[in-house]
């Protein structure tokens, strides 16, 4: 059984695939916050910008089998077939690696999808995922230390970018923390990238574009 908050079609807003048409499959629940506002002050991850509680969002629900889940994702894709583009699904949450298993990855592949995830990196990943974006969180142990994007929300006291520079990722990105300090955080992230050019800026473009 897979519990999913919502499944929707939009452009990837962040990271090195920003702009890419994607189905987002947002899994319910996270190991670093209950998702309830009343608990935010005592969560391990306190700055989350996402509602991942329940299964009541558009396209959300409980899917009994991996094939059911993959069929729901496939139904949400509306790109026209083209030899140079493969349907693309971004598994996120909440924390997708609490639920995404080999069966689900295989079922998504069987529906013709390239499979991406956005994860906090505290759980191991099943094999076969095509693109892994890890976003480390202060106060956690990082167990997923390789992938494509290492996308650090910046600034976070206790997890300075230097800690991750040696890991096995293709790209290292700083994403300004969205909060009342977004303007200052963006300025600080830009300055850090300019001084340390192995890092590049990741802007949450969907928020300024007014899309999901």
Ligand X SMILES: Nc1nc2[nH]cc(C(=O)O)c2c(=O)[nH]1
Confirm whether residue 130 is marked as ligand binding: no
Residues found near ligand SAM in the complex (CB under 6 A): 30, 47-50, 92-93, 95, 118-120, 135, 151, 153, 175, 177-179
Q: How far apart are CA 10 and CA 125, in angstroms?
A: 24
CA 7 to mean position of chain CA atoms? 13
Closest alpha carbon to 52 in 113, 1, 98, 108? 98
Among 19, 39, 50, 209, binds ligand SF4 (CB under 6 A): 50
Which of 87, 177 has the CB closer to ligand SF4?
177
CB of 208 to ligand SAM, least distance (A): 13
26 is in an annotated binding site: yes
Q: Is 48 in the site for ligand SF4 (CB under 6 A)?
A: yes
Does 47 carry a binding-site annotation?
A: yes
Among 30, 69, 116, 189, binds ligand SF4 (CB under 6 A): 30
Helix %, strand %, coil % of the chain (to 5): 25, 25, 45
Q: What is the dihedral sign for C-alpha 128, 121, 64, 22?
A: negative
d(CA 182, CA 206): 15
Nearer to ligand X, 43 or 67 (CB): 43
Strands, DSSP E only, in the chain? 2-11, 21-27, 61-63, 88-92, 114-119, 131-134, 146-154, 168-176, 199-201
Does residue 179 contact residue 158 with C-beta atoms inside 8 Å? no
Residue 184 DSSP SS3 = helix
The 101-140 site mask, x for binding ligand SF4 (CB under 6 A), equals -------------------x----------------x---
DSSP string, 71-120: HHHHHH--PPPBTTB--EEEEESS-GGGT--HHHHHHHHHTT-EEEEEE-
Q: Catalytic residue positions?
A: 24, 30, 45, 48-50, 118, 206
**Quick one: which of 61, 93, 121, 147 contacts ligand SF4 (CB under 6 A)?**
93
Interface residues with ligand X (CB under 6 A)?
Answer: 10-14, 24, 50, 92, 118, 206, 212
Q: Which residues are part of a known binding site for substrate? A: 11-13, 26, 92
Give the residue numbers of the binding site.
11-13, 26, 30, 45, 47-50, 92, 94, 135-137, 175-178
Annotated binding site for [4Fe-4S] cluster: 30, 45, 48
Chain contacts with ligand SF4 (rule: CB under 6 A) = 30, 32-33, 45, 48, 50, 52, 93-95, 120, 137
């Amino acid at each position: 059984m897979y519990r999913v908050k919502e499944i929707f079609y939009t452009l990837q807003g962040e990271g090195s695939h920003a702009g890419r048409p994607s189905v987002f499959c947002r899994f319910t629940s996270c190991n670093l916050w209950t998702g309830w506002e009343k608990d935010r002050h005592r969560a391990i991850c306190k700055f989350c910008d996402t509602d991942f509680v329940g299964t009541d969002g558009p396209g959300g629900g409980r899917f009994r089998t991996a094939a059911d889940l993959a069929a729901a994702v496939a139904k949400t894709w509306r790109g026209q077939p083209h030899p140079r583009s493969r349907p693309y699904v971004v598994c996120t949450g909440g924390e997708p690696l609490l639920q995404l298993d080999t069966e689900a990855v295989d079922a998504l592949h069987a529906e013709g999808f390239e499979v991406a995830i956005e994860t906090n990196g505290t759980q191991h990943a099943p094999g076969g995922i095509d693109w892994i974006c890890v976003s480390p969180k202060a106060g956690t142990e990082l167990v997923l230390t390789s992938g494509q994007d290492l996308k650090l929300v910046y600034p976070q006291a206790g997890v300075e970018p230097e800690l991750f520079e040696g890991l096995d990722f293709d790209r290292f990105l700083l994403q300004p923390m969205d909060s009342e300090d977004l303007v200052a955080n963006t300025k600080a992230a830009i300055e850090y990238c300019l001084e340390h050019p192995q890092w590049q800026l990741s802007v949450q473009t969907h928020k300024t574009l007014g899309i999901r």
